[in-house]
């Protein structure tokens, strides 16, 4: 299946800030006050990196996230801890899941083939 076919099948849109393609697949009706406004208690998204959009921009989320590798090439994550130390993690068909704390800045980069992931976050 091509990236274009996967984008159509999953009804993905270009991510407006991070790069890649995404679609929110679930949003809890329960809300929490996190000190910077209310937000859903849990959301889930599909996220896809392609050859045309192979890198997610460096950013930090406001909550912890679970990344699930769905298919395609491995995705390399660059992580920057609150103390400034750098580390890399690889998400692939072998690892399937990666947890990431909200305190870390991170960037995702796909390989030569597309990488597809789903993420759950509170």
Residue 30 structure tokens: 């329960």
The pLDDT of residue 122 is 47
Whether residue 49 lies inside any domain: the answer is no
User: What is the mean pLDDT of each successive set of 10 residues along the chain, which is 122 residues long?
Assistant: 91 92 93 82 89 88 84 87 91 79 88 53 50
Q: Is residue 42 part of a domain?
A: no
pTM for this structure? 0.80
Domain annotation covers residue 47: no
- For residue 48, being part of any structural domain is answered with no
How much is the pLDDT for 121?
53
Alpha carbon distance 58, 19 (integer Å): 10
Q: Given this model, what pLDDT does residue 81 score?
A: 92
pLDDT at 114: 47
What range defines the domain where residue 105 resides? 1-7+15-36+58-92+101-122
Has residue 41 been placed in a domain? Answer: no
How many domains would you assign to the chain?
Answer: 1
Whether residue 44 lies inside any domain: the answer is no
User: Looking at the domain assignment, is residue 51 inside a domain?
Assistant: no
Q: φ, ψ for residue 7 (rounded to 5)?
A: -60, -45
In a domain? residue 74: yes
Per-residue pLDDT, 34: 77
């Amino acid at each position: 299946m091509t990236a274009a076919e996967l984008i159509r099948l999953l009804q993905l849109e270009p991510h407006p800030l991070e790069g890649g393609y995404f679609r929110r697949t679930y949003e809890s009706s329960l809300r929490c006050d996190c000190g910077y406004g209310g937000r859903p208690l849990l959301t889930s998204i599909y996220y896809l990196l392609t050859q045309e959009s192979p890198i997610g921009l460096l950013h930090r989320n406001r909550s912890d996230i679970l990344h699930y590798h769905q298919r395609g090439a491995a995705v390399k994550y660059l992580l920057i801890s609150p103390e400034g130390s750098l580390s890399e993690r690889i998400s692939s068909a072998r690892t399937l899941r990666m947890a990431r704390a909200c305190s870390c800045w991170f960037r995702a980069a796909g390989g030569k083939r597309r990488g597809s992931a789903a993420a759950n976050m509170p």
